[in-house]
Structure 1
């Protein structure tokens, strides 16, 4: 189904090619998973995970217009009851989720490119105990963004390049 998106350059939707490859990689993890879509934009990644069998999804964005679009999209695809939508900065939302004992199997990080946002968010995810034992994080960034190979509790398991975009996957460091 076609989803609503924010007009203009305020968001950068994940391209169809990247999304297709992303979900091919995540396929073994999706069934009955709990998903966190940080920097959600239109919510397309979390909604796709729900449509492929995820149990629930939490969507977070700091843009009020994006929050409205996510809610409209969840209604449009008839998955509203499986989603929770939060307006606010990622760190504050993560703190709130941690305080409520929420933990996630799949986390999508798709913040604005070239802002250095992903490394501190990875650290924050660990510090706030929101990761299930068998988690996977997908971080989408600009090809030139420097991302850590590990953060203590997690390590890069795969990197995929698509033009100027890069998907970096993190799993538990065993």
Structure 2
């Protein structure tokens, strides 16, 4: 691993983790007061595991973004890939606010559906720049599919 790749990947991981942490801080009231009282499907997972998986996803996302970034931001494909990445990161954080802080599971579900589509485009653009970076986002896409199913069932059970 080159020092440029290490530095950029580390920086991207830190940015992703900070973004995730900010989402967690902004949603503490909903997590503490609203979420525990909801009916949940049989496949829901405990909050600690849910949070741990999100942390892993943020690390994978950051490493993937760092790999792409290390290819040179001057290249139009790298820029396009990273713009998609930034947009999906925004949608990711927005889901936490919609679901936990604003307590709007239906609107949050719509956000997740758009997020999943943007993740697929991000994977496509990352693949043009680096197969490794694209493959690092696949677990994230699968995780978001699970979160979509979970969000849908919570909305359905509590409507």
Same fold at TM > 0.5: no
Which structure has more helix as a fraction of its residues?
Answer: 2
Larger-Rg structure: 2
